[in-house]
Amino acid sequence: MTANDTTGRLDEALARLHTTGPERLGRLTNHAPMVVEALAARGRAGAVHRWLDLYRPKLEDFPRRVTPVTDGNWREALGDPRRAADWIDHFSRALAERPWRAVLAEWWPRLLPGLYGGSTHPVIRLGHAVRALGQEENEPRLTELAHALGYWAARHHPVEGIVTLPGADSAAAALDAVPPAEGAEGGFPTRLAAVRRLPGWAGDVSDPDTARARLTELVRAATHRYATHGHGEETMLVHAATAPNAVLRTLDALPRAMWVPSLRVAWTASAAVTAMYAPAEAVPWRSPGSVTAEDVVERALAHGDEHVIKLTDTALDVGDEQALAAALRAVELSEPLAR
């Protein structure tokens, strides 16, 4: 992939999207910024505007402002979804004054404990924004980072009181050991509140390089698991893979001291989603055969669903046969984007 694969149309699409809000109907996430970045990154920049035109009915106007977020009052505004516009303004000012990596390094440890808010979508949006900035720094991409950080701050939601169960040697085995959350019904926040026990897996890591390796392993295991367990909830189980992958994509833009705590929160998020939505029984995964990565991207784009495209993007990062099978499973299970 070259920088030319993501310029032009992506930046135009982001500029279109920055007049819209991070959510609709007060709770559903605007996935368009993540999808257009994923399409551009996978060499499908020519499809960005066409896809965005189809998604346009799911977008709402930028939310109203309440009171400016400042260095003195930000703690009281943290986790208040009514303040999304205020938070985006705050980060827009910060990014106009300082290098984006410095702003990210300051705010990452503040925001990381609340990664679970917004069904983990804010950190996923941030991971896409960071990848785009890694290709080219310009105004639309810096603005997108401000929107992602602002959305995360507004939806900041920590999780506490989870009992650590005996762990496992591998990420795959640890995900297999996750017990279903008892009484988990309703939407994401209600189900998340029902998660009380999770296996330990990342708590023994203290070295940044080991944290990166473990995070890579987790993304692979969660992606593979979708191929066998995605039928438990075809949309929400995507996040067990895409949320930790967003963290993994961000590591190189962060100080190494932040890698270990990032792994621990990413593990908890992936395991919690598994507990909330995993089915009682797995199904065998089917080999994609001679299907190539490019074929899988085309199938995901033709299908059009935002979660299918984002899981496919993560599956291509993993890059093996079962990961491609997971992407095709998402195509099979999910409702296509209306034409």
Paired with 24 in beta bridges are 28
pLDDT the model gives residue 111? 98
pLDDT the model gives residue 227? 98
Q: Where are the domains of the chain?
A: 3-154, 159-339
pLDDT the model gives residue 171? 98
pLDDT the model gives residue 185? 83
Give residue-wise pLDDT tens across range 209-223. 999 999 999 999 999
Q: Which helix (H) or strand (E) covers residue 60, if one does?
A: none
**pLDDT for 53 beyond 80:** yes
Give residue-wise pLDDT tens across range 305-332. 999 999 999 999 999 999 999 999 999 9
**pLDDT for 4 beyond 50:** no
pLDDT the model gives residue 45? 95
**pLDDT for 295 beyond 70:** yes
pLDDT the model gives residue 2? 39
pLDDT the model gives residue 221? 98
Q: Which helix (H) or strand (E) covers residue 199, if one does?
A: strand 197-199
What is the amino acid identity at position 193? A
pLDDT the model gives residue 339? 76
- From the list 7, 14, 16, 5, the residue with the least C-alpha distance to 44 is 5
pLDDT band at 184 (very low <50, low <70, confident <90, very high): confident
- From the list 99, 151, 125, 150, the residue with the least C-alpha distance to 37 is 125
Note if the pTM is more than 0.85: yes
Give CA–CA dist 97/139, Å, rounded.
Answer: 13
- Average pLDDT for residues 62-86, to the nearest whole number? 97
pLDDT the model gives residue 182? 85
**pLDDT for 7 beyond 90:** no
In contact, 219 and 241? CB cutoff 8 Å = yes
Task: Round the average pLDDT of the chain to a whole number and report it.
Answer: 95
Alpha-helical regions (H) of 19-156: 32-41, 48-55, 74-77, 84-97, 100-111, 121-135, 139-154
Query: Please, which residues have CB within 8 angstroms of residue 58's CB and are 6 or more apart in sequence?
Result: 24, 28, 30, 32
Percent of the chain beyond pLDDT 70? 98
**pLDDT for 1 beyond 70:** no
**pLDDT for 163 beyond 80:** yes
